[in-house]
A = this chain, B = another copy of it.
Amino acid sequence: MRKYYLGIDLGGSKILAGLFDEELNLVGRNKMRTKPERGFASVVERIARCATDLVDDFDIEKKSIVSLGIGSPGSIDANGNVIFAGNLDWENVPLKKQLEKIMQIPVSVENDCNVATLGIYHHELKAKPVNMVGIFLGTGVGAGLILNRQLYRGTNLIAGEIGHTVLDVNGEQCNCGNRGCFELFASRSSIFRKIGEAIKKGEETQLADKKLENLRSGDLEKAIRRGDKCVARLVDEAAHYTGIAVANVVNLLNPDVVVLGGGVIDALEDQMMPVIDKVAHEYAFPGIPPTFQVIATKLGDNAGITGAAVLAKGI
């Protein structure tokens, strides 16, 4: 009998489930809305349904599923409880316990950025780097750290909040209370906020008559492809500041490789990566050999489910 693993990427708006074989090849995916406003019990039930439907779709027996891994926003303790996840409005919820109760298989829970980092490290890079930093640009900005070949979690299991490191001491106020956080320069919401400001100033852009809150990172890519100079400039700026943030982490941690991912990078890789790579190498400390790599993950939005399967398999 073939064995399978389930990998779940839990986000504030959607649940993504992946079914993986023993070599961690992706067999199939399923998607469902998270609907966090319905509360913890409902979200757990939806995660289980999303996973169970996927298994059923591929005519796979339940007993072939060895285990389930899940990447959740927020800080996760050693028992798989989510200590705090702002965008789900969760505080101290027993995610592992509840999911195991419904699914009747072992469940492993880890922070979403850590999980995506594990997926990139073990599956895409075959665990070759000694030190790797994963930086994810999405609605917000987060990071995962592999140091000396191990996931580094920090004292309170909340390391990697690179989105709230300050890049501009005189910058704008961030939701977190600081000024000039990296997230204000490079998250999807920040890029759209800047486009909105440009429109107000009367700058020409194809997005001027669109409802910006309904747009995605892919719409920015399309606008740039159609010659939208305003959007091109603002995406370029986001890439420039991301390059500086990459250099900051390179100067502090001296990794072999920094891998970029998340929805913004998935959609705008061709526009952003050359700038990020160039600026990161320019801003790296002269004593650091320029051999460090700055790349985009090839896993795209499967990074999360792949890492969750890695977690499930217990690599």
Q: A158-B285, A158-B288 are in contact. Are A167 and B166 (CB under 8 A)?
A: yes
Q: Is A170 an interface residue (CB 8 A)?
A: yes
Whose C-beta in chain B lies nearest to the C-beta of A286? B176
When distances are taken between beta carbons in the complex, the residues of chain B under 8 Å from A158 are 254, 285, 287-288
Q: Is A228 an interface residue (CB 8 A)?
A: no
A75 to chain B, nearest CB (A): 6
Name the segment of A25-33, A115-123, A148-156, A204-212 touching the other chain: A148-156
When distances are taken between beta carbons in the complex, the residues of chain B under 8 Å from A148 are 150, 152
Q: Is A147 an interface residue (CB 8 A)?
A: yes
Contact B286 A177 (CB under 8 A): yes
Q: A169-B167, A178-B283, A282-B177 are in contact. Are A256 and B160 (CB under 8 A)?
A: no
Contact B255 A155 (CB under 8 A): yes
Q: A75-B287, A286-B177 are in contact. Are A254 and B156 (CB under 8 A)?
A: yes
Q: Is A306 an interface residue (CB 8 A)?
A: no
- The majority secondary structure among interface residues of chain A is loop
Q: A154-B131, A162-B251 are in contact. Are A285 and B168 (CB under 8 A)?
A: no
Name the segment of A191-199, A215-223, A241-249 touching the other chain: A241-249
Alpha-carbon separation in the docked complex, A247 to B169 (Å): 12
Q: Is A40 an interface residue (CB 8 A)?
A: no
A13 to chain B, nearest CB (A): 20
When distances are taken between beta carbons in the complex, the residues of chain B under 8 Å from A41 are none
Contact A159 B84 (CB under 8 A): no
When distances are taken between beta carbons in the complex, the residues of chain B under 8 Å from A276 are none
Q: Is A74 an interface residue (CB 8 A)?
A: yes
Tier of interface size on chain A: 35 or more
Q: Is A105 an interface residue (CB 8 A)?
A: no
Contact with B along A119-144 (1 / 0, CB 8 A): 00000000001110000000000010
When distances are taken between beta carbons in the complex, the residues of chain B under 8 Å from A75 are 287
Interface centre among A153, A171, A178, A282 (most CB of B within 10 A): A178
When distances are taken between beta carbons in the complex, the residues of chain B under 8 Å from A161 are 251-252, 254, 285, 287-288
Whose C-beta in chain B lies nearest to the C-beta of A133? B252
A98 to chain B, nearest CB (A): 22
Interface residues of A in 259-283 (CB under 8 A from B): 282-283
Q: Is A313 an interface residue (CB 8 A)?
A: no
Q: Which A residues lie at the B interface, using CB under 8 A?
A: 74-75, 84, 86, 129-131, 143, 145, 147-148, 150, 152-162, 164-171, 176-178, 180, 241, 244, 247-249, 251-256, 282-283, 285-289, 292
Beyond A147-B152, A161-B287, 5 additional pairs, beta carbon < 8 A: A145-B252, A155-B255, A158-B254, A159-B254, A165-B252
Question: What are 22 residue pairs bridging A and B, where the CB atoms are less than 8 Å apart in the complex?
Answer: A131-B155, A143-B252, A145-B252, A154-B253, A154-B255, A155-B255, A155-B292, A156-B289, A158-B288, A159-B254, A161-B251, A161-B285, A161-B287, A162-B252, A164-B251, A166-B247, A166-B248, A166-B283, A167-B169, A168-B168, A170-B170, A177-B283
